[in-house]
Amino acid sequence: MNIKTGNIEISQHSFIRVQERYPNFGKNKRAATEYIRSLLKTAEYIGIVPDNEGVDGHMFSYAKKIAIYLNMEGNLVTTLYDIERDNREHISFRDKVVDFYKKELRKIHRSEMAKRKKAEELSIKYEAEIAVLKYKKYKTRSENVRIECDNLIESLENELATINKDIKDTQSEKRHIAIAIATNNF
């Protein structure tokens, strides 16, 4: 949703919430309005979500820490609050999310093991090829053959480095998913 922050006003309720929760920015209504406008410039649009009273509004999230609700017309901020509450237990499809994370963790684990096995096999193969190329480079008198050997050695080493980087990336993703499962943070 595209909003023009210059046209946005804040309700009395929002002004009171800014004074309570962010006193440095709630000295007067104009300062509070400017503060909320500045938040909305970089806030992420979440969607149409009912507030605690059941009234639909456009919900925005600033830095995944502050929820900002605008009315359906998108010109009035109705409320804002910190998103520090843990409402994960109230999500009806929570078990499906947990199962999905665990399933993805198993998939990534299998993928990592396959990549490791392939990397080990290629490492042994490439080390042998590199040894042959080094020997060939040592024995030859031709400068062109030496350059060709150096290029081939470099390409084999680069391919091994790429494979190892891919394994490290997979391990990092696996670690993040495992931490999310362990901390119940999703």
| pLDDT at res. 111 | 94
pTM for this one? 0.61
| pLDDT at res. 88 | 63
| b/e burial code for range 11-44 (CB count within 10 A of at least 16 → b) | eeebbebbeeebeebbeeeeebbebbbebbeebe
| pLDDT at res. 91 | 77
| pLDDT at res. 81 | 87
Q: Indicate if the pLDDT at residue 183 is higher than 80.
A: no
What digits encode the pLDDT tens for the residues 2-37? 777 788 999 999 999 999 999 999 899 999 999 999
What are phi and psi for residue 68, nearest 5 degrees? -125, 125
What digits encode the pLDDT tens for the residues 50-100? 887 888 899 999 988 899 999 999 999 999 988 866 666 677 888 898 899
- Percent pLDDT > 90 in the chain is 68
Q: Indicate the average pLDDT of the chain.
A: 90
Q: Mean pLDDT, to the nearest integer, of 146-171?
A: 95
Q: Mean pLDDT, to the nearest integer, of 132-144?
A: 94
CB atoms within 10 A of CB 147: 11
Greater model confidence, 87 or 168: 168
Domain layout of the chain by residue ranges: 5-85, 90-183
Q: What is the DSSP letter of 86?
A: -
| pLDDT at res. 144 | 95
Q: Indicate if the pLDDT at residue 40 is higher than 90.
A: yes
